[in-house]
Chains A and B, each alone.
Chain A
Amino acid sequence: MLAAANEQQIWDWLAEVPDPEIPVVSVVDLGIVRKVTISDNSIEVEVAPTYSGCPATEVIESTILSKLVDEGLNGVSVKRVLSPPWTTDWISDVGRNKLREYGIAPPVDGASKRELLGKSEIHCPRCGTSETTVVSEFGSTACKASYKCDECLEPFEYFKCI
């Protein structure tokens, strides 16, 4: 392991690892990386899976591993942690802005049963209006729903609140 490797440096490297499904945000922006533990001979990165069946989970873990190995680190391991379960509340403000700029409406703050069941207003990521209509509760991935804007008429995806 490089003597210079400190925790902040590792977090900075992880912030360069894109989500495989939505590459505009990093695994750090999404709040998937929970903890980095550095000991004498090893580095352990704790990762929280999003959905039970998320097909990206294994890709994310191997991408994190290869990123840190490429940066010259040895003894790196990735540990999957289930508890507490990942929630969209862990998506950072930076991540939310990146999603919006990319055209995906970020999840509303404060995940709860009520929000999961879609009771709140969803704003169009392009023009910002709350006049939007759900087209399909299921989108291109398990974590997104399809909406359309009633003002600017653009279709967009909404990152579900879970």
Chain B
Amino acid sequence: MNNEQALLQYTLRLGDNALVLAQRLIELVAHGPELEEEMANANFSLDYLGQARMFYSYAGELEGRGRKEDDFAFMRGEREFCNFLLLEQPNGHFGDTLVRSVMFELFYLEQLQALANCSNERLAEIAARAVKEILYHLRHDSQWLVRLGDGTEESHARVQDSVNQLWRFSGEMFAGDEVDDIFQQVFAGPDLEAIGATWHEKMSAILAEATLAIPGDEWMQKGGRAGCHSEHFGPLIAEMQYMQRSYPGLEW
């Protein structure tokens, strides 16, 4: 793999992560636990969607084959998406949604802060913009996690179960492959090992404040970077791509 291919793949993965979480969060519209949280998550979804569009637009320019943001979002198959498996997991109850968000945002914030200083100007610009948005998301979501964990007996038990169920998807975020290695070396990109250490430290602090237990070392599920998804991804993109698959090329 050469440097250009790695840059394209890295950019697409950034777009895939943002788009898949945007799609999950928008599913909460008209199904949120309360109006304020519905608006919060719809706003977050919009931020992720905006970020995904910028990453995909850049990917299209890098690839140079005329593909645009919509082509990447709506006309690729399941195996071509390389998002983290964590992000495609269903919304479940509100605790599941929150734990998924906090786990990702703690990673993504570190990733974006590193990207804002990388040598690729375009990704650095997009990241500098996105950092402010994710800071705001993380504050909101982590406060809720503390409230639920340190809440009633039932909320504590349910959100602890969310942490236990989703924990196995955390390791994948720090398990880089050739693309991450090249991006780090050639473009002064994020150091996943360092991010992993910071993530564990910050996640432990939030869980401690929430009186939640940190799951022990356990087997980690991987596959997202290679496009090997969990069973939840097919229905997600089926709904997301329905309109373009039914009416290819449709525009507003």
Contact = CB atoms under 8 A, between A and B. Distances in A.
Interface residues of B, number: 26
3 tightest Cβ-Cβ pairs between the two chains A and B? A53-B50, A52-B50, A53-B46
14 contacts: A51-B50, A52-B51, A52-B53, A52-B54, A52-B129, A53-B47, A53-B48, A54-B46, A54-B50, A82-B126, A83-B125, A116-B132, A117-B135, A138-B36
Contacts, number: 65
Nearest to A135: B36
B136 A117 contact: yes
Interface string B42-74: 010111111101100000000000000000000
Interface of A: 49, 51-55, 82-86, 113, 116-117, 136-139, 142, 160, 162
Contacts of B6: none
B54 A136 contact: no
A90 to B, nearest CB: 14
- Secondary structure call for the A interface: loop
B39 interface: yes
Nearest to A111: B132
Nearest to B40: A138
Contact of A138 (B39, B125, B126): B39
A83 B129 CA distance: 8
A138 B126 CA distance: 23
